Copies of this chain bind each other. A is one copy, B any other.
Amino acid sequence: MTQVASPVSLTAVDAPGQPTPSPELEQLYRGFERELLVPLWTEISGLMPVHPQSKAAPHLWRWQNLLELADRAGHLVPVGRGGERRAIALANPALGGRPYATPTLWAAIQYLMPGEDAPEHRHTQHAFRFVVEGDGVWTVVDRDPVPMTRGDFLPQGGWIWHAHHNAAQHPMAWIDGLDIPFQYATETQFFEFGRDAISDAERISPERSRAQRLWGHPGLRPVSVPGPQPSSPLLNYRWVDTDAALTDQLELEDEGFPGTVEPGHAAVRYTNPTTGGDVLPTIRTEMHRVRRGTETAPRREAGSSVFQVFDGTGTVTVGETSWRVERGDMFVVPSWEPLSIRSEASASDSDSGALDLFRFSDTPILAALGLDRVSVDAGR
């Protein structure tokens, strides 16, 4: 069989650690190309670096730009079966135009016009929604309508039916996070269409989801549902609880007790109440609060993160890049890039006096395989 245009292409170079170029070496390399082989010695520094060298770049997306384009899409692009969702994904500038915020994580703004429904489906990709502003939409999860308002976090475990419904008179935006790039890389994706329309009962405005009524009581679980569940059965985490937890941590710090991550830096992790572990098997989610005038210690983690500013203003430094950030802005932290967050010293009248950031990361993947690593430059 003639091998037309092998994808392998090798060049002998005169460089340290490389074999000396020669006609024989060239012939060997042609043999490798013909047989679809690549030697380690030409690739090792890229494949097996001393520490992670991310393909992704630190990057910031401004919420106002995201919102404006989403709104234009709201008027131009219908939502329906096939396209499934009016979701617009962050494409990391260093990842070749793919809709990947990081090599493993998808982050998108989703937008629903008044009265619109996004049809029901399910997929193995794990997902969540986070609401930086607005209200009026609910997500219907296994027929349970789950309301969404500012500060709410909604996990959506893989292979669970879900649809969206905007019952309000105004459009609503929120962000979606998924492990789409990870499942694309590992080729583990399954997808199935559900009902084309939700029922009338699912259109009645819920105050609390049924999931919240069963699972939203601290430290308690229904005896009727024993055992661990693969993803959180608690389908919404209300802002009132998250805010209270962060407030409590900072007050404990003021009283001289432990609880914060570091001085002036409170953080809570969303957990699966049936395991105490991460809310989703592949995605860690957290809310961080940095007190006014506080700067966090530079921290590197194996694996990547995406942040959205929930409230306040400040300056974020990722590797060599710094941005001034405000509500809704989203940015990515590639693997092993140091991250530091500084809250504005004097806040404007309107903000709460702290910088609140929602974070999601691929850490559970790494932790499940023993590949997670952290390095904190506490000595700064």
Residues of A within 8 A of B (CB): 6-9, 16-19, 22, 24-25, 28, 31-32, 35-41, 43-44, 47-56, 59, 61, 65-66, 69, 72-73, 76-78, 80-99, 103-104, 108, 123-125, 158, 180, 182-192, 210, 213-224, 228, 230, 232, 234, 237, 241-242, 244-245, 248-249, 251-252, 257-261, 267-276, 279, 281-282, 286, 288, 302-304, 334-336, 362, 364-366, 368-371, 373
User: Of B36, B123, B257, B334, which contacts A187 at CB under 8 A?
Assistant: B334
A241 touching B221, Cβ below 8 Å: no
Docked CA distance A18–B104 (Å): 26
A185 touching B83, Cβ below 8 Å: no
Question: In the complex, what residues of B have CB within 8 A of residue A19's CB?
Answer: 76-78, 83
The quantity of this chain's copies bound in the complex is 4
Docked CA distance A17–B31 (Å): 46
Docked CA distance A296–B232 (Å): 30
Nearest-Cβ distance from residue A316 to partner chain B, whole angstroms: 17
B91 touching A221, Cβ below 8 Å: no
Question: In the complex, what residues of B have CB within 8 A of residue A24's CB?
Answer: 72, 76
Closest to A276 in B: B274
Docked CA distance A186–B221 (Å): 26
B268 touching A190, Cβ below 8 Å: no
Question: In the complex, what residues of B have CB within 8 A of residue A304's CB?
Answer: 187
Question: In the complex, what residues of B have CB within 8 A of residue A22's CB?
Answer: 76
B7 touching A95, Cβ below 8 Å: yes
Nearest-Cβ distance from residue A91 to partner chain B, whole angstroms: 5
Nearest-Cβ distance from residue A169 to partner chain B, whole angstroms: 24
Docked CA distance A187–B210 (Å): 39
User: Of B38, B97, B187, which contacts A55 at CB under 8 A?
Assistant: B187
Docked CA distance A18–B99 (Å): 17
User: Of B50, B82, B222, B259, which contacts A192 at CB under 8 A?
Assistant: B50
Question: In the complex, what residues of B have CB within 8 A of residue A252's CB?
Answer: 210, 213-214
User: Of B36, B78, B89, B261, which contacts A224 at CB under 8 A?
Assistant: B261
Question: In the complex, what residues of B have CB within 8 A of residue A99's CB?
Answer: 38-40, 43, 47
A269 touching B223, Cβ below 8 Å: yes
Question: In the complex, what residues of B have CB within 8 A of residue A89's CB?
Answer: 37-40, 43
A183 touching B97, Cβ below 8 Å: no
Question: In the complex, what residues of B have CB within 8 A of residue A189's CB?
Answer: 47-49, 51-52
A368 touching B371, Cβ below 8 Å: no
Contact A108-B303, Cβ < 8 Å, known A35-B69, A369-B282: no
